[in-house]
Structure 1
Amino acid sequence: MKIKNVTVFGSGVLGAQIAFQTAYHGYRVTLFDIKEELLEQAKLKFEQFKQYYQQDLNAAPADLDAAVTRISFTTDLAGSVKDADLTIEAIPESIQIKKDFYKKLSPLAPAKTIFCTNSSTLLPSQFAAETGRPERFLALHFANYLWKNNVAEIMGHDGTDHEIFDQVVQFAKTIGMLTIPIYKEQPGYVMNSLLVPWLIAGLDLYRNGVADAASIDKTWMKTVGADLGPMAMADLVGMTTAYNVTKSYAELTGEEVWEKRRDFLKENFIDKNKLGISTGEGFYTYPNPAYQNADFLK
């Protein structure tokens, strides 16, 4: 089966990026969300993406305009998948929300449709049964700023058809991704198996009063020559995502330390609307955070 029509569920941070990147590479894309206002927000994001693609990729304005014309918008779940060859789900990182969603989706999609989840922490096997087509279901996980950080992790579960797995790997390549096939289910995949411990190490240093955010980042940036430290990265990723990760790990492991991390983020950031760059404050204040100052490492 040749993939032509792609449906993306969820128009949030990554959903909007996935839709735009896929359309930019020539696919017809349907973007689904539960409210019209969310789709209107996505249209505004696409205008921002045009600027980013010109700056970072030297993309031609005509090609970017053409990408937008290949995207349709809908709040009708059945209509969104009636012709779908491939779907990519980027809805909230909650096992129950995803299970409920796939139960609704399963009877609506054609038999040909491949289901992919963009989940960053959950395993495909945790909700494969709810898809109604476990052999055609797997994870396709993208990094934030995916036009630039163009990595896609592809991870099946024991019931995923090998041909479907290979087909999704090839699809990811056609939309400009560096593909990372993962051959065994792994919480956090490759990317977050490396990233999360680093972010959590920074969080624990801060949470336990060992050092302030700037000192933690300065240490990392100076010693390894990095542009960002873990605290700045947490602001970039967003505290909501960081909180959801700690919440998922607390549920998966039952370990008290993950519960303490979850509760710390909730009390000090989520409840205070300090969600990172998106709200203008996290570990740093925005715009013009301290780590961007020329003398930050002096």
Structure 2
Amino acid sequence: MSESTNLQKVTVLGTGVLGSQIVMQAAYAGKDVVAYDIKQEFLDKLTERWEWMRGYYVAEVPEYTPEKFDAAIARITTSTVLAEAVGAADVVIEAVPEDLELKKSVWAQVGAAAPDHTILLTNSSSLLPSDFADATGHPDRFLALHFANMVWRCNTGEVMATPKTDPAVFERTVGFAEEINLVPIRILKETPGYVLNGLLIPWLEAAALLYVNGVANPADIDRDWTISTGAPGGPFQVYDVVGFNVVVAINASKAERTPEGDKFSEMLVERGISQGKAGLGDGVGFYEYENGVPVRPNPDWEL
């Protein structure tokens, strides 16, 4: 562990599947966290989200205690006012949808309201941080810290600078990642998708292509993959963990899109998102879940 970064006050923008995990990850590590979202109804869902997450912490976080988890919840406050949410932040972590213009708009507001010392971090899954760094007004303090889903267990933190990022800010971000119990992965050259998604997305797209072209059902594709390779899960289980909303947003943000990719997104919206069955967070996606464990394939997706 490096020396203390003195980065205590954290604001997370967006409280969806991954944003809420980031909030808890920081709070459980002892940080004071403000969870921001655009509607109070989104923030009202966090109480239920904490209890969903608690089940995983009990099973998968060795040092878990009920008292420590409750103390983490007590360190979390919420806000629907952006300027208020970032006004005292040492670190701002953005986890809003993968839309370049939206990110530019959000970061312009953050840059105008955050203190001069604040480190500005994006969790963007596929966009290049340098494409919206200037919108912050402080590109020297802006870079990426990318979290993996199920962050308490899959606790990598990919740290990636833009050409304008101050190297000292990069190093403090590495230290901050360690403080919130991440394993920092230094990305030495800016690239879409970092290392994780640079490997993961082509694999997921190959699985989607097989399904869209009518080759096999999701459960059979997963079964073939897991039995043949010994992997713990298949691509459609990963789609459920990531969440359909994130997948659709990533597909929409691509410079080069394919008819198959667009068709898959349409199916995710029609059969999943619009039905409230958008993955593990809803309890139903390509699989039906009980206590976070897949118990059967969702018949809605059978060819």
Per the normalisation by structure 2, the TM-score is 0.89
Q: Which residue of 2 aligns with 1:266?
A: 265
The correspondence for 1:247, drawn from 245, 252, 264, is 252
Q: Which residue of 2 aligns with 1:42?
A: 46
How far 1:181 sits from its partner (Å)? 0.8
1:276 equivalent in alignment to 2:275: no
Residues 282 and 62 (structure 1 numbering): CA distance in 2 closer, same or farther, change over 3 Å?
closer
Q: Which residue of 2 aligns with 1:196?
A: 201
| Contact 2:212–2:264, Cα closer than 8 Å, also in 1 | no
1:2 equivalent in alignment to 2:1: no
Residues 174 and 4 (structure 1 numbering): CA distance in 2 closer, same or farther, change over 3 Å?
same
Q: Secondary structure at the match of 1:290?
A: strand
| Contact 1:118–1:141, Cα closer than 8 Å, also in 2 | yes
| Contact 1:247–1:259, Cα closer than 8 Å, also in 2 | no
Q: Secondary structure at the match of 2:175?
A: helix
1:26 equivalent in alignment to 2:16: no
| Contact 1:269–1:282, Cα closer than 8 Å, also in 2 | no
Higher mean displacement: 3-12 or 50-59: 50-59
State the alpha-carbon separation in 2 of the partners of residues 280 and 5 from structure 1.
32
| Aligned ranges 1:49-128 → 2 under 5 Å | 49-58=53-62, 59-128=64-133
Residues 284 and 68 (structure 1 numbering): CA distance in 2 closer, same or farther, change over 3 Å?
closer
State the alpha-carbon separation in 2 of the partners of residues 267 and 50 from structure 1.
33
* Amino acid across the alignment from 2:128: L
Deviation per residue, 1:88-131 (Å, 9 max, x gap): 01111111111111112211111111110111111110100101
The correspondence for 2:174, drawn from 164, 169, 176, is 169
1:143 equivalent in alignment to 2:142: no
State the alpha-carbon separation in 2 of the partners of residues 19 and 282 from structure 1.
24
1:187 equivalent in alignment to 2:192: yes
| Contact 2:97–2:249, Cα closer than 8 Å, also in 1 | no
* Amino acid across the alignment from 2:148: A
Higher mean displacement: 228-237 or 170-179: 228-237
State the alpha-carbon separation in 2 of the partners of residues 238 and 64 from structure 1.
25
How far 1:248 sits from its partner (Å)? 1.9
State the alpha-carbon separation in 2 of the partners of residues 71 and 276 from structure 1.
26
| Contact 2:149–2:241, Cα closer than 8 Å, also in 1 | no
Q: Which has the higher contact order (CA 8 A, sep 6+)?
A: 2
* Amino acid across the alignment from 2:260: R
How far 1:286 sits from its partner (Å)? 4.4
Higher mean displacement: 43-52 or 181-190: 43-52
| Contact 2:144–2:160, Cα closer than 8 Å, also in 1 | yes
State the alpha-carbon separation in 2 of the partners of residues 283 and 25 from structure 1.
33
Q: Which residue of 2 aligns with 1:160?
A: 165
State the alpha-carbon separation in 2 of the partners of residues 212 and 271 from structure 1.
17
Deviation per residue, 1:42-97 (Å, 9 max, x gap): 12211222232122114011111111111111112111112111110111111111
How far 1:281 sits from its partner (Å)? 4.5
RMSD of aligned C-alpha atoms?
A: 1.8
Q: Which residue of 2 aligns with 1:209?
A: 214
Q: Which residue of 1 aligns with 2:228?
A: 223
Residues 51 and 234 (structure 1 numbering): CA distance in 2 closer, same or farther, change over 3 Å?
closer
| Contact 1:246–1:261, Cα closer than 8 Å, also in 2 | no
Deviation per residue, 1:149-194 (Å, 9 max, x gap): 1111111110001010010011001111111110111111100011
Unpaired runs of 5+ in structure 2?
299-303
Q: Which residue of 1 aligns with 2:301?
A: none
| Contact 1:39–1:73, Cα closer than 8 Å, also in 2 | yes
State the alpha-carbon separation in 2 of the partners of residues 18 and 41 from structure 1.
15
State the alpha-carbon separation in 1 of the partners of residues 54 and 221 from structure 2.
35
Residues 53 and 32 (structure 1 numbering): CA distance in 2 closer, same or farther, change over 3 Å?
same
* Amino acid across the alignment from 1:21: Q
Deviation per residue, 1:216-237 (Å, 9 max, x gap): 1121101111121112221222
State the alpha-carbon separation in 2 of the partners of residues 271 and 42 from structure 1.
26
Higher mean displacement: 225-234 or 270-279: 270-279
* Amino acid across the alignment from 2:48: L
| Number of equivalent positions | 286
